[in-house]
């Protein structure tokens, strides 16, 4: 199942870069997150070795996912948990609706789960008359606005405190001040009541432990703990690749994930849920369900070019360093996963290059994402390979293929190359103004639409080289 964005990527980008407030907010937050990551990883030391360790553990799990997922499923059941498998988004939603109907649920309280966003469960619940509330502060805010998250870690990155204060005031029925303590206190008060009354609590799972059948959540606000402690039923959404073999392995990710995500040494809460409450317990859910979601992930397995992307631990570090994300924010990517990771996994998960194949072009291929990734996913290499795949599928425009054939013919032979450079130089006076090309011809217009292109040097490198090497040969006094 593939969804379609309302407007094409170029439109979305044009819309985003016109929003000055958005760009400022995104820049401010990503700067802070990236700075925090750099200082906290430096303070830990041996960051490269930690990354290497993270990469090796995750690669091993993904390469043996049949074993570890099988082991996880078996152990959840041993603890009395309910295991559900969703091949796609539609099934995931149906499974959840079945659970909700079976419990005659009126109210569902959610903590953060990217997979539940991926399968769009909220709308289906509302359509069925079930109240669904996002309890993560950022998610709560954007739910009130009827919007989608624009950052994996900071979902409401694009909203400022004035907008939020106005929205909260509507609900409060009085004008609230726009300072964050007031706004936070308001959310605490409203949501606390909901936590205590909810019929079903929903969480995601940052990791799942195969050997014990546990799920692990990294959270800061405490809402993840609330939804797994107070309502009688807990349903966890989980991407099928989220596994780690044992708790011992979790130590590496306790060190990698919070630092990469927010620059914290560890999140306020790392919560391990080992199924439903046990005999004598008076809190914790009485019933535990886990919905294991495929939704295109098996497409990526066994593909040697892209399998490694399943190592991703959803930290958002690649977003914060990406010059493109920092200029356009999350919504322009058109689906739930933004930034470099989104540009890679969206076309792969949906297996639809016709609709989503333009995302890998939303990158300057600078490689900052690869460098930032705590599990060493070669994201920018994958972006290139995805572009190549789009070409192989015959989805690029005819003129582009013709242009590249011409380019190949021109640049494949030295004399033709020289000739083309000479021809281009003759064009410069018509195009460049004060050292910059402001409006390029044909397909160069895409580039010069938003910025100037530096005019090529008056003398080409080849010409310079000819002169310099001539001078050198001509008896310089070098040794």
Q: How far is the CB of 268 from other proteins (least distance, A)?
A: 5
Looking at beta carbons only, is 161 or 418 nearer to other proteins? 161
Q: How far is the CB of 460 from other proteins (least distance, A)?
A: 47
Looking at beta carbons only, is 74 or 466 nearer to other proteins? 74
Q: From residue 352, how far is each of 303, 339, 348 by CA, in Å?
A: 16, 18, 7
Looking at beta carbons only, is 26 or 332 nearer to other proteins? 26
Question: Which residues contact residue 103 at a Cβ distance below 8 angstroms, ignoring those fewer than 6 apart?
Answer: 199, 200, 232, 233
Strand order in the sheet with 233-239: 82-86, 287-293, 233-239, 200-203, 107-110, 131-134
Q: From residue 293, how far is each of 20, 84, 92, 474 by CA, in Å?
A: 37, 9, 7, 71
Question: What are the beta bridge partners of residue 238?
Answer: 292
Looking at beta carbons only, is 33 or 386 nearer to other proteins? 33
Q: How far is the CB of 264 from other proteins (least distance, A)?
A: 8
Q: How far is the CB of 260 from other proteins (least distance, A)?
A: 15
Q: How far is the CB of 255 from other proteins (least distance, A)?
A: 7
Q: How far is the CB of 366 from other proteins (least distance, A)?
A: 24
Among the listed residues 233, 240, 199, 184, the one whose alpha carbon sits nearest the alpha carbon of residue 104: 199
Question: What are the beta bridge partners of residue 83?
Answer: 290
DSSP label of 83: E
Looking at beta carbons only, is 72 or 333 nearer to other proteins? 72
Q: How far is the CB of 448 from other proteins (least distance, A)?
A: 34
Cβ–Cβ under 8 Å, residues 270 and 217: yes
Helix and strand element counts for the chain (H, E): 23, 13
Question: What are the beta bridge partners of residue 235?
Answer: 202, 289
Q: How far is the CB of 109 from other proteins (least distance, A)?
A: 11
**CA quadruple 246, 249, 253, 256: dihedral, nearest 10:** -170
What values do phi and psi take at 206, rounded to 5? -70, -40
Looking at beta carbons only, is 156 or 202 nearer to other proteins? 156
Question: What are the beta bridge partners of residue 134?
Answer: 110
Q: How far is the CB of 68 from other proteins (least distance, A)?
A: 8
Looking at beta carbons only, is 124 or 164 nearer to other proteins? 164
Looking at beta carbons only, is 270 or 318 nearer to other proteins? 270
Cβ–Cβ under 8 Å, residues 250 and 218: no
Looking at beta carbons only, is 192 or 405 nearer to other proteins? 192
Residue 123: strand, helix, or coil? helix
């Amino acid at each position: 199942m593939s969804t379609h964005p309302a407007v094409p990527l170029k439109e979305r980008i044009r819309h985003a870069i016109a929003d000055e407030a958005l760009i400022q907010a995104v820049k401010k937050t990503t700067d802070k997150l990236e700075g925090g990551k750099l200082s906290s990883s430096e303070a830990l030391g041996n960051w490269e070795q930690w990354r290497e360790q993270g990469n090796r553990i995750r690669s091993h799990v993904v390469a043996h996912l049949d074993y570890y997922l099988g082991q996880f499923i078996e152990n959840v059941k041993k603890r009395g948990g309910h295991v559900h498998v969703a091949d796609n988004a539609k099934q995931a939603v149906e499974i959840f609706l079945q659970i909700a109907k079976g419990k005659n649920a009126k109210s569902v309280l959610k903590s953060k789960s990217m997979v539940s966003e991926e399968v769009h469960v909220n709308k289906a619940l509302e359509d069925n008359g079930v109240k669904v509330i996002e309890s993560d502060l950022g998610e709560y805010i954007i739910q009130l606005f009827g919007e989608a998250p624009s950052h994996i870690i900071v979902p409401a990155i694009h909203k400022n405190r004035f907008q939020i204060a106005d929205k909260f005031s509507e609900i409060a029925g009085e004008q609230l001040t726009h300072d964050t303590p007031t706004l936070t206190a308001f959310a605490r008060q409203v949501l606390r009541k909901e936590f205590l009354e909810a019929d079903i609590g929903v969480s995601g799972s940052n990791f799942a432990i195969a050997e014990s059948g546990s799920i692990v959540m990294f959270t800061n606000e405490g809402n993840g703990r609330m939804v797994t402690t107070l309502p009688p039923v807990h349903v966890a959404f989980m991407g099928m690749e989220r596994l780690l073999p044992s708790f011992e392995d979790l130590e590496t990710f306790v060190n990698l994930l919070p630092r990469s995500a927010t620059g914290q040494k560890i999140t306020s809460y790392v919560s391990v849920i080992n199924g439903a409450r046990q005999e004598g317990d008076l809190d914790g859910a009485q019933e535990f369900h886990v919905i294991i979601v495929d939704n295109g992930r098996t497409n990526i397995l066994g593909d040697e070019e892209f399998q490694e992307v399943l190592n991703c631990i959803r930290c958002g570090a690649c977003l914060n360093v990406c010059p493109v994300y920092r200029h356009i924010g999350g919504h322009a990517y058109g689906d739930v996963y933004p930034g470099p990771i989104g540009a890679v996994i969206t076309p792969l998960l949906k297996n639809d290059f016709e609709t989503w194949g333009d995302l890998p072009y939303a990158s300057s291929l600078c490689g900052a994402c690869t460098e930032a990734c705590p599990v060493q996913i070669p994201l920018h290499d994958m972006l290139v390979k995805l572009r190549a795949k789009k070409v192989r599928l015959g989805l690029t425009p005819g003129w582009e293929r013709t242009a590249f054939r011409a380019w190949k013919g021109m640049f494949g032979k030295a004399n033709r190359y020289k000739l083309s450079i000479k021809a281009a130089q003759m064009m410069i006076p018509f195009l460049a103004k004060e050292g910059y090309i402001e409006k390029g011809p044909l397909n160069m217009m895409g580039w010069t639409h938003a910025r100037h292109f530096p005019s090529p040097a008056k003398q080409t490198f080849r010409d310079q080289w000819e002169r310099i090497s001539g001078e050198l040969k001509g008896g310089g006094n070098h040794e």
